[in-house]
Structure 1
Amino acid sequence: MKNLFKKKNELSQKTETVSLQIEGMTCSGCSLHIEKDINKKDGILISSVNHETGKGEFTFDTAKLNKEELINAVNSIGKYTVVKGNEKEDCCDSISDSTTDKASNKGKNQFDLIVIGGGSAAFSAAIKAESLGLTTLMVNGGLDFGGTCVNVGCVPSKNLIRAAETAYHTTHSNFAGIKPKGADIDFAQIIKDKKALVAALQQQKYMDVVSDFENLTMLKGWAEFVNNNTIIVDGKDTYTATNVVIATGATTNIPNIEGLNEVGYLTNVSLFDLEEKPKSLTIMGAGYIGLEMAMAYNRLGVKVRIIEFTDRPLRSQTEDITDVLVEQMKSEGIEILPNFRAFKFEKEGNDTIIHCNCPDGSTTQIVEKGHIVVATGTTPNTSKLGLKKIDLKLSERGHIVVNEKMETNISNIYAAGDVTNTPPFVYTAATEGSTAVNNAFSLSKQSVDYASLPWVVFTDPQIAGAGMDEIEAESRGIPFEVSKLDLTHVPRALAAQDTRGFIKLIRNTETDKLIGARVIAPEGGELIQQLSMAIKFGITVKDLAESFYPYLTLGEGIKLAAITFGKDVSKLSCCAS
């Protein structure tokens, strides 16, 4: 306050201070928004806005600004309107037509918050907004409410993966004394059950959650920006809000390859709804989506081939991880073609001919009698938003650029989820959506920290990670050491006669703190949360090695991997420390 008074005393004689009653503020975020935007106006020297009293005090240079222009400037911010007593400020006859139109248009089409999208980030934003008492409009086009995860992503894929695992274990046994005899697979029933699960969870976890919200309006349609505060839906009705959260997600990136559109292809959106079991599948791409689909459908009796233009599947991970996975996939009959690049598709009767460049520089033709599945990464859903009108900053790959507070380069526009340049997971999207709304309407800012972020690829064995791997540690100049424990040293894996994979820990040699972990193991994803928490809270490897772990659990492998930094674990007895 001392600095504020000092600044006032230093002002020239050509200044004026006015107090304005402002209608439309609902929280401290509103007052902050007005202050932030009005301070950009040339001539504004000091602004102080209080949402509780509804008053704003403004000091301005009268040589650059007059009272009417000040009022116009406030009226142009979001849904706020300057009033005189109980009447709106007319500001003589000099108010622009646009301001007058805006004031007369207030009502049902004005909100505190507009959320564009209908997935996890959008619903999380809406839930947070409801808790703050904000009027919210959610506009969703494309996939049904619930977005990718529940409709065409996590839920259906993991359901099919589990069904496929059940089928696999009826034909494969780790025990010589058990002779599996197989199973009758009713593919159509599996898909029917999957659809029922999706519908139930979409209703229970999304629609039912917001069904009693008093301040939420949900609208189906395509939203396009008119300006920073206004959208138009399906080219018809316009809506305005103080702040906007973009949470439109991402869809499969379709490569520009000759003939691909003509021969037809599937993505996760359409593949999961096929009720007739495909004859075979050629999957384009060996990222986590392609790999999960490949293992699931192969185990359900579909012949699967993977074409990958890099040297190996899941190229983002180190070779020791992908080596284990490739060995397993090949043992199950999945054909993997690394360093193959498709350059042309064409139909020959009912068959699809895939023309490919081979690793040795030659070309070949691959015949696919079933379906082509495109799993070549994702692209953010921004093309229909009209972002050029508002000059929103995008990354080279088209993602909306946000900082750790989910702020974009435009003060009242935030973004969350797969449409942004952040890790593309449903649980990060949920955190980001809530964070965006908090930061848009609160003076207490929150940041999202991904340093210990856990993730899982649901192949078999599962691949999981948290923190950095050894390559990242080296690139960042961090002194590190790696401990890698094969599952052949874990009693649980030996008892189950399934020793596929390993546990790898990365520690900072100066602090002994765990900075990263990678696991590839049957149900290995169940281990990663503990390791993520260890990274987040600065747990040392010594702490991990000296903690209690139930004997004959896979989690005991973490203890053994920690011990391996200093001892040869093969020379330890059971339960040793």
Structure 2
Amino acid sequence: MSAAPHFDFDLAIIGSGGGAFAAAIRASNLGKSVLMVERSTIGGTCVNTGCVPSKALLAAAEARHVALDAGSRFPGIAAGAGPVDMPALIGGKRDLVEGMRSDKYVDLIEDYGWDLRHGTAAFSGTPEEPVLDITSADGARESVIAGHYLVATGSTPWAPPVSGLSDTGYLTSTTAMELEEVPDSLLVVGGGYVALEQAQLFARLGSKVTMLVRSRLASAEEPEVSLALMSVFTDEGIRVIRRAILSSVSRDESTGDVTVVAEVAGSREDFRAARLLMATGRRPVTEGLKLDTVGVKTGDRGEVLVQKTLASTNPRIWAAGDVTGHREFVYVASAHGALAVDNAFSGARREVDYRYLPRVAFTSPAVAAVGLTDREANGAGISCECRVLPLEYVPRALVNRDTRGFIKLVAENGTGKILGLTAVGKEAGDLAAAGVYILEAGMTVDQVANLWSPYLTMAEGIRIAAQSYTTDVSRLSCCAT
């Protein structure tokens, strides 16, 4: 009888972001020995260069915007705002990031007691006997054999190949949040969530912003989202150029300005600004891991190809988070990490279920959605009926004196079952969270229309949107709906 194989660790994790930490915590709670390998800063994208710093700066920019806009929104209120002290703003952001990194990441490693190695990881060995080689900054090498491995290396900003782009020193969503001064003018290429947030952030800090968008803003969402954001951005002085495809980029050595040549609706146009921000997506980080050595297949963008259980093509190697090429949200990465551990050590064979995954862009007003869009429902062969409720019918929006936006419901014809919810407005993310519960419960518009809802909340708008299927909401009393 052969002896059981000896492993240095039950689980070896490459990366230290949300997915990696969720996996390490779940495995530690199961009594498993865990090794985490990180080549850079502990915490991954979210806390260091993504969610936390970007939302902190967006909140600051909104505070400035509210101060400048208060007089026009609220009679009797006078306010103002001076130029932005960008070094102080960035310094405050760094302090916040360092505090959260320490409290929510670094300190947890000691609390749970797993091992940490700072260094670069790569696989060696064979598909049957994978080995993880770790090289530290001083060149020291260590080889580790684990029962299971988790690749949780995240993603990095990506820009398409455009003539001259690599020589211009363009900004990404990461480097833009380290600027020590507000650019006088800024070109933002892209129309997705990151592009939307960054464009509004810098416009509210004082930049003259122009967006170059291939199709429309938030093109994966309902068309009403694009229309609402176009109106908001126009009011805030953000110029949006649609149907723009970059041809070349150059920098003026004497002024430092960037010139972008783009095809716009079939015609050539030149755009000039102090800085250029490329917000054209992200790509998984797998280069240098030598995944092919151990039989792990990757896709065209470098993503680890995984089953719904998050197992790769090697049954001992799993992947979680952005590196899988799945939706790039930190809560997806965290769910991935815990699910992969459960499947690896208990044989649970749980699968990822994205049916009711909420998605949020933290613009102001925010954009949020859950479930199917109108187009997706029709594409799936579902006969649906939609209602779009302008926020002028939501009492909370009226008292906020901010009726920019809407709530849209997609419901199945005949049954009235709610299939999707999209919102543009203040606290739209909270509306999407409520939508998750509504969709998970399989509720109908009639059920939602007759549920309790606290008055003067944005969430009340969901109930009013449901009532709009059978009622002329313009004839409802604001306090007796």
Provide the C-alpha distance between the structure 2 equivalents of 1:444 and 1:358, rounded to a whole number of angstroms. 51
Alignment match, 2:394: 490
Q: Is the 8 A contact 1:192 1:275 kept in 2?
A: no
Deviations 1:108-146 (A, max 9, x none): xx211111111100111111111111111111124x110
- Aligned ranges 1:313-352 → 2 under 5 Å: 313-348=217-252, 349-352=254-257
> What amino acid is aligned across from residue 341 of structure 1 in structure 2?
I
Alignment match, 2:9: 111
Q: Does 1:152 align with 2:49?
A: yes
> What amino acid is aligned across from residue 375 of structure 1 in structure 2?
A
- Aligned ranges 1:251-290 → 2 under 5 Å: 251-290=156-195
Q: Does 1:364 align with 2:269?
A: yes
Provide the C-alpha distance between the structure 2 equivalents of 1:496 and 1:291, rounded to a whole number of angstroms. 23
Residue 296 of structure 1: how far off its partner (Å) = 1.0
Provide the C-alpha distance between the structure 1 equivalents of 2:46 and 2:311, rounded to a whole number of angstroms. 24
Provide the C-alpha distance between the structure 2 equivalents of 1:385 and 1:511, rounded to a whole number of angstroms. 50
Q: Does 1:509 align with 2:413?
A: yes
- Structure 1 counterpart SS, 2:9: strand
Q: Is the 8 A contact 1:345 1:354 kept in 2?
A: yes
**Bigger Cα Rg:** 1
Alignment match, 1:384: 288
- Structure 2 unpaired stretches of 5+: none
Q: Does 1:407 align with 2:315?
A: no
Residue 183 of structure 1: how far off its partner (Å) = 4.0
Residue 575 of structure 1: how far off its partner (Å) = 4.2
Deviations 1:63-96 (A, max 9, x none): xxxxxxxxxxxxxxxxx15xxxxxxxxxxxxxxx
Deviations 1:196-251 (A, max 9, x none): 0000000101111121333x211122211113421212383221111111111000
Relative distance call for 1:509 and 1:364 in structure 2 (3 A) is closer
Alignment match, 1:95: none
If the length of structure 2 is used for normalisation, what is the TM-score? 0.94
If the length of structure 1 is used for normalisation, what is the TM-score? 0.79
Of 200, 203, 207, the match for 2:106: 207
Residue 362 of structure 1: how far off its partner (Å) = 2.9
Provide the C-alpha distance between the structure 2 equivalents of 1:510 and 1:116, rounded to a whole number of angstroms. 49
Q: Does 1:133 align with 2:31?
A: yes
> What amino acid is aligned across from residue 417 of structure 2 in structure 1?
K
- Structure 1 counterpart SS, 2:302: coil
Provide the C-alpha distance between the structure 2 equivalents of 1:539 and 1:261, rounded to a whole number of angstroms. 51
- Structure 1 counterpart SS, 2:240: strand
Residue 186 of structure 1: how far off its partner (Å) = 2.1
Alignment match, 1:180: 79
Q: Is the 8 A contact 2:426 2:458 kept in 1?
A: no
Residue 366 of structure 1: how far off its partner (Å) = 2.2
Relative distance call for 1:170 and 1:548 in structure 2 (3 A) is same
Provide the C-alpha distance between the structure 2 equivalents of 1:484 and 1:514, rounded to a whole number of angstroms. 13
Q: Does 1:190 align with 2:89?
A: yes
Q: Does 1:547 align with 2:451?
A: yes
Residue 425 of structure 1: how far off its partner (Å) = 0.4
Q: Is the 8 A contact 1:503 1:520 kept in 2?
A: yes
Q: Is the 8 A contact 2:284 2:325 kept in 1?
A: no
Residue 311 of structure 1: how far off its partner (Å) = 2.4
Residue 538 of structure 1: how far off its partner (Å) = 1.4
Residue 446 of structure 1: how far off its partner (Å) = 2.3
Residue 442 of structure 1: how far off its partner (Å) = 0.5
Q: Is the 8 A contact 2:258 2:275 kept in 1?
A: no
Of 294, 298, 302, the match for 2:207: 302
Alignment match, 1:428: 332
Alignment match, 1:527: 431
> What amino acid is aligned across from residue 146 of structure 2 in structure 1?
A
Q: Is the 8 A contact 2:168 2:258 kept in 1?
A: no
Residue 576 of structure 1: how far off its partner (Å) = 4.1
Q: Does 1:477 align with 2:373?
A: no
Provide the C-alpha distance between the structure 1 equivalents of 2:360 and 2:386, rounded to a whole number of angstroms. 20
Residue 375 of structure 1: how far off its partner (Å) = 1.0
- Structure 1 unpaired stretches of 5+: 1-19, 24-79, 82-105
Alignment match, 2:279: 375
Residue 436 of structure 1: how far off its partner (Å) = 0.4
Q: Does 1:169 align with 2:73?
A: no
* Residues paired across the two proteins, number: 471
After superposition, the CA RMSD in angstroms is: 1.7
Alignment match, 2:368: 464
Provide the C-alpha distance between the structure 2 equivalents of 1:290 and 1:129, rounded to a whole number of angstroms. 36
Deviations 1:417-453 (A, max 9, x none): 0011322100110011011011101033322211111
Q: Identity across aligned pairs (percent)?
A: 37
Name whichever of 547-556 and 271-280 sits farther off.
Answer: 271-280
List structure 1 segments (4+ residues) > 4 angstroms apart after TM superposition.
none
Alignment match, 1:37: none
Alignment match, 1:249: 154
Relative distance call for 1:360 and 1:278 in structure 2 (3 A) is closer
Name whichever of 415-424 and 223-232 sits farther off.
Answer: 223-232
Provide the C-alpha distance between the structure 2 equivalents of 1:354 and 1:561, rounded to a whole number of angstroms. 46
Provide the C-alpha distance between the structure 2 equivalents of 1:145 and 1:555, rounded to a whole number of angstroms. 37
Of 7, 13, 18, the match for 1:120: 18
